[in-house]
Amino acid sequence: MSELEQTASDSGTDSSSAAKDRLSSGSMLPDLRSWIRDLSISLLIAGVVIVFLYQPVKVEGTSMMPRLVDQERIFINKFVYQLEPVNRGDVVVFRYPFDQAKSYIKRVIGLPGETVRLVSGEVFINGRKLREPYIVEEYRDRQSHAPIVIPPDQYYVLGDHRNSSNDSRVWGPVPQQYIYGKAVFVYWPVDRLGFLP
């Protein structure tokens, strides 16, 4: 055997015996501790994000079709309204005003101080027709509703599938303190994966 082969052979024996020594002496314990520490930190960060920033929600019902469908899974941003106001067109999740154990998801149509009126299914804000590109014509109902002035800190919300939605036309505006998130991302089913406008 050549000198080079001998050296390589000896170093292979040394490295395997060194690994055995580390295992038997417990020096792999720091590696395990480091791995557990990293996993714990990751879980803590994920917990903070879920508790304070984003929350997964399951859509139940058809009132937001075609944008959101029954049994779809979405993330809502729970922190966004600490930084910015609720805007017209936002898809929001809120506690139902007459049973706060239930949550609803609807689109914001009317803002505080505005006058909302529905004429044959068309929405008018302060006398001007609201352009609603998200409404599919066959989902629009043809009902009319008397004008309503939205009180301070309340919002008029409607489902996009107007002829199957229980919304502000039935129970009035939603107080801002009941709104707890903005729908931002569909994550299930995978073929509908994507951000919500």
Please report which confidence band the pLDDT of residue 1 belongs to, taking 50, 70 and 90 as the band edges: very low
Instruction: Give catalytic residues, as residue numbers.
Output: 63, 106
Give every CB contact of residue 111 below 8 A, 6+ residues apart in sequence.
Answer: 86, 87, 88, 150, 155, 156
Dihedral sign from CA coordinates of 193, 156, 175, 115: positive
Average pLDDT, the chain: 87
Q: How far apart are CA 134 and CA 168, in angstroms?
A: 18
Residue 119 structure tokens? 């004429």
Is the per-residue pLDDT at 165 higher than 50?
yes
Predicted pLDDT of residue 4: 41
Please report which confidence band the pLDDT of residue 5 belongs to, taking 50, 70 and 90 as the band edges: very low
Query: What single letter denotes the amino acid at residue 163?
Result: N
Q: What is the DSSP string of 25-71?
A: HTTTHHHHHHHHHHHHHHHHHHHHIIIIIEEEEE--SSTTTTTS-TT
Q: What is the pLDDT of residues 107-134, one digit of tens each?
A: 999 999 999 999 999 999 999 999 999 9
More confident residue, 1 or 169: 169
Q: How far apart are CA 9 and CA 2, in angstroms?
A: 11
CATH architecture entry for 59-195: Ribbon (2.10)
Please report which confidence band the pLDDT of residue 53 belongs to, taking 50, 70 and 90 as the band edges: confident
Please report which confidence band the pLDDT of residue 21 belongs to, taking 50, 70 and 90 as the band edges: low
Say whether 86 sits in a helix, a strand or coil: coil
Say whether 16 sits in a helix, a strand or coil: helix
Predicted pLDDT of residue 45: 84
Least confident of 52-61, 98-107, 157-166: 52-61
Q: How far apart are CA 49 and CA 185, in angstroms?
A: 15
- Tell me the mean pLDDT in the region 30-42: 86
Residue with tokens 């395990």: 32
Segments in the chain forming alpha helices (H): 3-25, 29-48, 80-83, 168-171
